[in-house]
Amino acid sequence: EMKDFNIVVNDRPSGEFLDLINSATMLEDPYTQVEENENRIILFLLKKCTAGLCMFLNVLCKFVKSLGALIRQWSVLLFIPASLLNQALTQTQDSNLLHGPKLSGHKVVAWYFEQQDNSDQLLMSMIKRIRAKTGVRFSDVLLTAVSASLEKFYAQSNEVPQFITVVIPARLTPPPSTQALTKVIKTKNFSTKVTKITENPDSSLENKFSVALLPLPIANNSSNQLKLFTKLRQVRKHCDLLRNSPDYLVNYWLLRVVATLLPTWLLRPMMQSTHSTLVLSNLPGPTRLTKLAGHTLHDLVFWVPNRTTTGVGVTVLSYAGRLQLGLMADRALIACQQDTQLILDGVATAIQQMDQLSSPQDTTRVPPAQ
């Protein structure tokens, strides 16, 4: 029976090993020799069984994880009424210098490109150091810098709001489908990550995203040296509340499913952006310089369109280890291009100040939201 297996035992092919067992009577102690060889065969089979068990457990863990994510996605449907009611009751329409007037349709744009050669002086490196010393997220630092810059802008007219509503788009990755899991099990390609095979390469491009509204603190009554970190704590608190809420998933289902069922006359007023002051979009770009038609693209920037009464958009793109900032505003809100440029410059300045304040000797960490 051993000849049916393509294995190597005791560093020899199985056929030679059987011949060795048959000639064991010629050895001084044949019974001991055969017993040692049998032990090696048993050890080999045990190793194979262990590898198979580990493979099975790996597939089982992936299946349970994906099933939990799928159940979580569908359970969000139960929270749609409560989430919509909460958004309708708690989110009021903004009233400040950058929200309210009817948009003119004429735009002013600005951008900020880093020109530093020293990687330690890049904004990306500064944000990484701030994160390491304070324990916050990348978006927390970025939103704090935007808030600090807007606070200075509002202070010029002595009308600093306590909060403004910010629309934050986010890309959502759907959970692995049952069909994808079946494909993994049938092909026995257990090293492939399930999340990477959910998208059919033959399908058309899709834009699976959702949006949520964040109340961004602006006014800061603190006057001490750590004023920025007081703002950072406030921003992190509201960001954590948004991350733990079902708003992104609820709005995703509304945009993807419910919106396709409702008539246009009913859908149009629901989709109008009347609460928010600005949109902030943060996208990861290429990690290295990219060439187009043989020419190197040194800087990249994009802008988000204005919609209904939301006439200010701030964009952030990480490209080749540098931050590229963009801002587009309607002239009814910001008439001067220099003002838009000052806002972007203020964002970079706030990041630099937070990096300087969070020196190695400073052990202040931002506590989690209560």
What is the residue-level pLDDT of the chain in tens, covering all 370 positions? 444 444 444 444 545 544 554 554 444 444 444 455 555 655 655 665 666 666 766 666 666 666 555 565 555 566 666 666 666 556 677 889 999 888 999 999 999 998 877 788 899 999 999 999 989 999 999 999 999 999 999 999 888 999 999 999 887 765 444 444 445 445 545 444 433 434 455 555 566 778 888 999 999 887 766 788 899 999 999 999 988 887 777 777 777 777 677 777 766 666 666 788 999 999 888 888 888 888 888 899 999 998 888 999 999 999 988 999 999 999 999 999 999 999 999 999 999 999 998 865 544 455 444 4
The residues with which 171 forms a beta bridge, in sequence order, are: 209
Euclidean distance between CA atoms 115 and 113, whole angstroms: 6
**Maximum separation of any 2 CA atoms in the chain, in Å:** 105
* Residue 192 CA neighbour count, 13 Å, CB half: 16
Task: Please choose, from the candidates 259, 232, 19, 50, the residue with its C-alpha nearest in 3D space to the C-alpha of residue 135.
Answer: 232
Query: In whole angstroms, what is the distance from residue 143 CA to residue 138 CA?
Result: 9
User: What is the pTM (predicted TM-score) of this model?
Assistant: 0.68
What pLDDT, on the 0 to 100 scale, is given for residue 369? 46
